[in-house]
Amino acid sequence: MTSYYQDTVNSGYAWLGWVPRHWDISPLGQHFIERSETVSDKDFAPLSVTKDGVVPQLDNVAKTSNNDGRKLVRAGDFVINSRSDRKGSSGVSSRDGSVSVVYSVLEPRPTLYGRFAHHLLRSPAFQEEYYRWGSGIVADLWSTRYSAMKRILLAIPPLGEQREIAHYLDSEIAQIDTLIAEQQRLIEMLRERRQAMIDHVFTRCSEDRVPLRRFISFLTSGSRGWGGYYADFGDVFVRIGNLSRGSLFLGGEVQRVNLPPVIHEGQRTKLQVDDLLFSITAYIGSVAVVDQEWADSYVSQHVALCRIDTSVLDPKFTGYFMLATEGRGQLSEGAIGGTKVQLALDDIRALRVPVPTLEEQRQIVDYLDRETSRIDMLIAESERLIELSQERRSALITAAVTGQIDVRQEA
């Protein structure tokens, strides 16, 4: 059971807040020594520093590394990937090895218990403070040098208490991670069930596959060079990220464009309800059908707009078919060739689709809308549970390592 410390003091530092009075507030440099010895990865195996901690570097990555001029890492050292520190890429190494010279390697002093240091320096609160002490031109080149890092103030409990906090967090995090893993497996099973349902419907469609070109009344790709028209207000600009890989709905972050009056070319790519959209340069297989909410938007050069004869072919029926394994296979086959994986408009015209009666098409659409919606609701619930679990995980770590909760076992 956890509780709150009764005797606390204001640290005077925003990232620490109120801390237990018996904890020692002191600079990071008092508890870590920077290790800067350079070695060869022939003698010390290359390591990667990820969100999962310090792990052996993959063979295909290791082959491209420079043999000399790497930083030595000893088992028990804390390593920070300074190029992605805000993403939590850091941790205590369980083995000797070597890392890039741009990484920070810290040797804990005897005042620190390794697992407590692992949780403390990976906590979201510390990562934000660490980032604040850094410098750089852009986020990807932002880094915090040890000369600045060593001045960051930490609140350090006695060694015995550090062990209790670390053991508590190890246990709690393991339970949370197990729950997250179970939900991720459930999501994967639900997605497989969804795909099997769609495949089963179209496997039973015995009609011959007919070239889509016979039903296309208009086909085009989006306009180029509209990045300069991006604005906070204006018309919606549909990008490839707005097309889902698993459903026919448009979604995601909305980008707007403010077009000058002289730009008339965009009218060619203005969307209408029931237009069928295909990703043509990335995420091949992403398909969407335009509803009223997205009508009158424009599409980017990476999206193809396909307008079909709705008196013969239902757009959602066609979209669902393209989500089926058979349809995805055609899209993938058409995208392979040349120097890049992409679809040409002729590849879309060449797609072959079943064409049962409109009544049958609409019955299939109604069935798939209903059944996939049920599965999508279950997936959304699991995704929300994962999100809440991750938030609890972060909050729990920060609370424990900054003294917001007392996890010590009562006698």
d(CA 49, CA 100): 10
Q: What are phi and psi of 267, to 5 degrees?
A: -60, -25
CA distances from 133 to 39, 130, 147, 190 (A): 28, 5, 10, 44
CA distances from 266 to 44, 236, 250, 288, 298 (A): 57, 12, 20, 20, 7
d(CA 270, CA 265): 10
Whether 66 shows a pLDDT value over 60: the answer reads: no
DSSP designation for 410: P
Specify whether the CB–CB gap between 358 and 316 falls below 8 A: no
Of 125-129, 182-186, 204-208, the range with the highest mean pLDDT is 182-186
Q: What is the reported pLDDT for 96?
A: 93
CATH number of 24-156, picked from 3.90.220.20, 3.10.450.350, 3.40.50.720, 3.40.1390.10: 3.90.220.20
The 10s digit of each residue's pLDDT in 81-104 is 876 555 668 888 999 999 988 888
Specify whether the CB–CB gap between 397 and 122 falls below 8 A: yes
CA distances from 324 to 179, 195, 218 (A): 31, 7, 24
47-55 average pLDDT score: 86
171-192 average pLDDT score: 97
Q: Which residue intervals of 133-257 are DSSP H helices?
A: 146-149, 159-203
Cα dihedral 389, 115, 50, 382, rounded to 10, equals -10
Q: What is the reported pLDDT for 410?
A: 47
The 10s digit of each residue's pLDDT in 218-252 is 999 988 888 888 999 888 999 999 998 888 999 98
Q: What is the reported pLDDT for 198?
A: 96
Q: What is the reported pLDDT for 62?
A: 47
Specify whether the CB–CB gap between 271 and 219 falls below 8 A: no
Q: Which residues pair with 106 in a beta bridge?
A: 34, 78
The 10s digit of each residue's pLDDT in 304-334 is 999 999 999 999 999 999 999 999 999 988 7
Specify whether the CB–CB gap between 237 and 226 falls below 8 A: yes
Q: What is the reported pLDDT for 181?
A: 97
Would you kindly state where each structural domain of the chain is located, as residue ranges?
24-156, 159-205+356-411, 210-353
**Domain 210-353 carries which CATH code?**
3.90.220.20
CA distances from 404 to 113, 175, 336, 407 (A): 19, 21, 56, 10
Percent of the chain past pLDDT 90, that is, above it, reads 65
Q: What is the reported pLDDT for 142?
A: 66
Q: What is the reported pLDDT for 85?
A: 52
62-72 average pLDDT score: 67
